[in-house]
Amino acid sequence: MMLTACSDSPGRIRDIVQSPTGDYQVDVVDWSGGATAGETYLCVEYAENGFANVGDDEPDSCTMIEDTQCTYNTDFNIEWETNDSFRAVWEGLTHDSIELARVELYDGGFNVTSGSVCIDTTGSYLSGFTVDGDYVYITCKLRVTNDFDEDVWFTIDAVAAEADVGELLSDSHLDAVNDRGESKVFYLEAGQTEFITVTFRGSHGPSDTMSDRELPPWIYIYYERGW
């Protein structure tokens, strides 16, 4: 996996996460190139060089992990698995994807394994809806791919079409729920693509008619766990 030294124009460290024994530090760095340019990424620092602090410019001694370059001001979930390996999860370039990376450090460098979990909305469809008391239940078949090398758990929610708000639905928020009406956690094995059945629950409005039979226009996926 390609790695590169940090830019000559340094970014600003927004967050830091040190390894359990303090040998390494992962920096969340925001780099701004002006009003129309910018990105966020992770850098690794080593204890022998001393560690920077939140608010500092990224030091020359750190190394950027290119696989983690993403939209400016993206939040990362970073967990150390051992003293010399950590995992990172962050939102993808689109709201229906999440990115994952496992970083293993060793003397003189490190290895990165990366992947994503994403919903293919073009290959997905709405299969029907029902009204039950105060709620509307919208059933969708979503095509989801996990190209990471580990199994991943995730949750989903959605925003309904504007035409249905104030009609079939009283508001736009849709939760993915299980048969007990609780938030549902989905699971997908490493390297797999599957159709999953998702039941979105929304608050019932004054109408029993849906504007069309299209998917909710905004579907969001959230990392739950995978290791």
CA-based nearest residue to 9, from 46, 47, 39, 45: 39
Please report the pLDDT score of residue 6 as a whole number.
Answer: 46
What CA–CA distance (Å, rounded) separates 163 from 178? 26
What CA–CA distance (Å, rounded) separates 62 from 45? 5
What CA–CA distance (Å, rounded) separates 202 from 171? 8
The SS3 of residue 137 is strand
Q: Does 2 score more than 60 pLDDT? A: no
- Both tokens assigned to 76: 């990362």
In Å, how far are 23, 70, 141, 189, 227 from 85, measured between CA atoms? 11, 21, 36, 22, 13
Residue 4 pLDDT grade (very low, low, confident, very high; cuts 50, 70, 90): very low
Please report the pLDDT score of residue 114 as a whole number.
Answer: 96
Maximum pairwise Cα distance, the chain: 66
Please report the pLDDT score of residue 173 as a whole number.
Answer: 98
Per residue in 150-187, pLDDT tens?
Answer: 999 999 999 999 999 999 999 999 999 999 999 999 99
* DSSP one-letter string for 70-85: EETT--EEEEEEETTE
- Which contacts (CB < 8 Å, 24+ apart) does range 18-21 have? 18/51, 19/80, 19/83, 19/84, 19/86, 20/80, 20/82, 20/83, 21/83
Arithmetic mean of pLDDT, 186-198? 97
What CA–CA distance (Å, rounded) separates 131 from 135? 6
Residue 35 pLDDT grade (very low, low, confident, very high; cuts 50, 70, 90): low
pTM: 0.88
